[in-house]
Amino acid sequence: MRIDFKIRTVEIEGKRIKLQVWDTAGQERFKTITTAYYRGAMGIILVYDITDEKSFENIQNWMKSIKENASAGVERLLLGNKCDMEAKRKVLKEQADKLAREHGIRFFETSAKSSMNVDEAFNSLARDILLKSGGRRSGNHSKPSSTDLKPSDKKNTNKCSLG
């Protein structure tokens, strides 16, 4: 198992924001280590593989684990990756949509291969984190921009164009 650490920059409302991204393993046997990494995180991206039903089922376990271990109010985002592999799809978009709705979180289908929706996903999570922290810091006048952010454009939220 490896744990990658990367910096990703997103631009929101003309402001550049650096995200510190930790890529941890999803396998059950590494759960203790992974949990130590996401404790204290502001956002968590849960990724399954649309061609692998098990990976989707595993999301339920992670949801539970996050509820038990993550900081209260942590932003979560569900991603169905490998959407470039439509022919091998095992997990319907509707299934994931339903799960995301049940947990009150956003959902995108992405492709790390074609970069489809990858920027959108990071952008959306960063916005949600900012919106939340902006709300909490309502008395802090030095950060007016975070309270001015609007939710991301819903029109593209669930699209994974395959053309």
Q: How far is the CB of 45 from ligand GTP (least distance, A)?
A: 11
Site track 124-163 with ligand GTP (rule: CB under 6 A), x = hit: ----------------------------------------
Determine the residue type at 144.
Answer: P
CA atoms 62, 64, 65, 69: torsion sign? positive
What minimum distance in Å lies between the beta carbon of 84 and ligand GTP? 5
Distant-in-sequence contacts of 153-157, Cβ < 8 A, 24+ apart? 156/117, 156/120, 157/106, 157/107, 157/108, 157/124
d(CA 149, CA 146) in angstroms, rounded, equals: 6
Q: Out of 10, 76, 78, 84, point to the residue binding ligand GTP (CB under 6 A).
A: 84
Binding-site member from 26, 58, 89, 159 for ligand GTP (CB under 6 A): 26
Residues that bind ligand GTP (CB under 6 A): 25-26, 81-82, 84-85, 111-113
